[in-house]
Amino acid sequence: MRVLIVDDDALIRDGLKILMEMEDDFEVIGTAANGQEAFEMCQLNRPDLVLMDIRMPVMDGVLGTQLIKRHFQNMKVVLLTTFKDDEYIKEAVKSGAEGYILKNQSSDSIIESLRAVGKGNTVFEKEVAQALSGLLKEDKKPVSTIGLNPRELEVLALVANGYSNKEIAELLFLSEGTVRNYVTTLLEKLQFRDRTQLAIFYLKHQ
């Protein structure tokens, strides 16, 4: 997986680069110091995944994510930060990021989170997921009242919990193609563009 590392702290950039270069399935295609540099590098090098800090000068990680997602919808973005601020969490999720993880995790945990995102999962570190769930549960209709059938609700719940199409297929005894069709139907019915928005929707309405 081709990765771009974005952080205004050179020591953290270099540390993450060394960490990922120790893994056979990662290739660091470059580093950047802010969201604007990240977008420019994405234009030139087309990474599979961008690992990006939140608080940076010139352009922060939220605006950087929005810019990248606007131009490269299939490019995955994971926000890595020391901050657990509620507003940052909400803005990160709305920006379309596939993950939000904290820097105090072990190196192994960070690597596994990136691998999970590479496989099509969404990853929100436990503390972040709990905060997000609380932030979004504000006088909303329960998800069961929005016109989805029981199987679609099952698939939606599993997508929201970070399972890939292959894993959902195994759990529900369906073919991977059938699961892909369910996900496409959910996106069309709910008028969303990606799995991250499905996950947010489920958290908001469950």
Q: pLDDT digit string (tens) for 7-54?
A: 999 999 999 999 999 999 999 999 999 999 999 999 999 999 999 999
Q: How confident is the model at residue 103 (pLDDT cuts 50, 70, 90)?
A: confident
Single out the residue of 31, 83, 76, 29 nearest to residue 54, CA to CA.
83
In one letter, which amino acid is 54? Answer: I
* 114 vs 78: CA distance, rounded Å: 8
Q: Tell me: do 130 and 145 sit in the same domain.
A: no
What's the CATH code of the domain at 13?
3.40.50.2300
How many structural domains does the chain have? 2
- The residues pairing with 101 across neighbouring beta strands, listed in sequence order, are 80
pLDDT value at residue 145: 52
120 and 191 in a common domain? no
Residues 89 and 150 in one domain: no
Yes or no: say if 160 and 124 are a contact pair by the CB < 8 Å rule: no
Contacts of 138 (CB under 8 A, 6+ apart): none
Q: Model confidence at 68, in pLDDT bands (50, 70, 90)?
A: very high
Alpha-carbon span 20 to 135, nearest angstrom = 33
Query: What would the mean pLDDT of 52-67 be, rounded to a whole number?
Result: 92
pTM of this structure: 0.68
Residues 144 and 89 placed together within one structural domain of the fold: no
Asked which of 75, 105, 135 is the last residue of a domain, the reply is: 135
Residue 52 sits in the same domain as residue 84: yes
Q: Look at residues 108, 135, 162 and tell me which one is the last residue of a structural domain.
A: 135
With residues binned 3-state (H G I as helix, E B as strand, rest as coil), the percentages for the chain, rounded to 5, are 55, 15, 30
Q: Which domain holds residue 142?
A: 137-205
- 60 and 13 in a common domain: yes
Residue bearing the bigger pLDDT, 170 or 120:
170
Distance CA 41, CA 32 (A): 8
- What single string gives the DSSP state of each residue in 111-140? HHHHHHHHTT--EE-HHHHHHHHHHH-SS-
- What is the H or E stretch that residue 85 is in? none
CA distances from 118 to 3, 23, 58, 201 (A): 10, 14, 28, 21
Last residue of a domain, one of 117, 135, 153: 135
Asked whether residue 131 falls in the same domain as residue 141, the answer is no
